[in-house]
Amino acid sequence: MPSCLIVQPIHPAGLALLEQSGIEAVLSDPGAMVAQAPGVAAVITRNAGFTAEAMRAAPDLAVVSVHGTGYDRVAVETATGLGILVVNTPEANVLSVAEHTLALTFALAKGVVSGDRATRAGDDGFKYRARMIELAGATFGIVGFGLIGRETARLAAAIGMRVVGWSPSGRSADLQAAGVEPMASLEALVAESDVVSLHLRLSPSSRHLIDRRMLARMKPGAFLVNTARGALVDEDALCDALAAGDLAGAGLDVFADEPLPTNSRLREHENIVLTPHVAGSTEQALQRMARLAASQVVDVLAGRRPPHIVNPAAWPGRAAAFTAGKP
């Protein structure tokens, strides 16, 4: 019976699918991925990824299945060289992440978290000093226009916001077709927007895309929301901008280091709303991601090409051994 290493917990629906397909689920944790890699045929991981060291320790490994969209913490280049497929679940959490983006936006605009703190502390003066805004009529800037960016744009437009967008791939026609006003550059978007929302993959070119220069171009009183990848933002520069009063606040679901370190400067600012990388963790999305992550493991070990391959150059790679009844 082939085994699948479960690096981080997934919904029971995914575990049940593996069991029904004759694949043993081996529950683990990120710290044990190297030690438990030998002998496994498949891996399902979440934001912990899967390292090159762990891949080299797993001679029978045929597929790393990412429970979610982002695969920046998976050693894709190493996987390709070893003939290991990397797959992800790019559509399963789209609506949940888009909704969470709007939830953070509302929390910032309406002072939900700070108002809760004030109420619990008996601070009746909060209502006289709180700065809250209406979102209808405000400008919502989408940075990146993949599936989640599209859905977020739709939701923002539905509450009456003017939606503008910029994509590094230059998808002006796609933006226009979705009713989003294209911006000529990221600089133009951040200068125009009351809310800047990030929806990009992390890559060498996008790391610290929102840096001191970009933050300085944002409107005074604007909000930054990030439900994509933490390292898209220079966190020290963001803290400095907030401390200087240049921005009204930020809503962050992702961080450069996760879990968020206890000494992170982000914890010091009351005008930052923090959630622990849970935008895609609704019950519905967790079920969809777990099922899709597991079903792609089943496909690969059965010799079938899975639908969402990150590194197509690795197909069929080690999967061919399973089709031939090996190992």
Which residues are annotated as catalytic? 229, 258, 277
Dihedral in degrees, nearest 10, Cα atoms 225, 229, 232, 233: 50
Residue 309, helix vs strand vs coil: strand
Q: Tell me which long-range contacts 36-42 makes (C-beta under 8 A, separation of at least 24).
A: 36/5, 37/5, 37/61, 39/3, 40/3, 40/4, 40/5, 41/2, 41/3, 41/4, 41/301, 41/322, 42/2, 42/3, 42/4, 42/5, 42/297, 42/300, 42/301
Q: Which residues pair with 249 in a beta bridge?
A: 223
Distance CA 2, CA 24 (A): 6
Tally the residues of the chain: 327
10: its two tokens: 């997934």
| Other beta carbons within 10 Å of 146 | 18
Q: What are phi and psi of 113, to 5 degrees?
A: -70, -45
Distance of CA 303 to the CA centre of its chain: 29
Residue with tokens 């080690």: 318
Q: What angle do helix axes 94-109 and 283-301 make, rounded to 10 degrees?
A: 150
Alpha helices in the chain (DSSP H): 12-20, 33-36, 52-56, 76-82, 94-109, 112-120, 126-129, 147-158, 172-177, 186-192, 212-217, 235-243, 283-301, 319-323
Distances (CA, A) of 285 to 71, 259, 298: 17, 21, 20
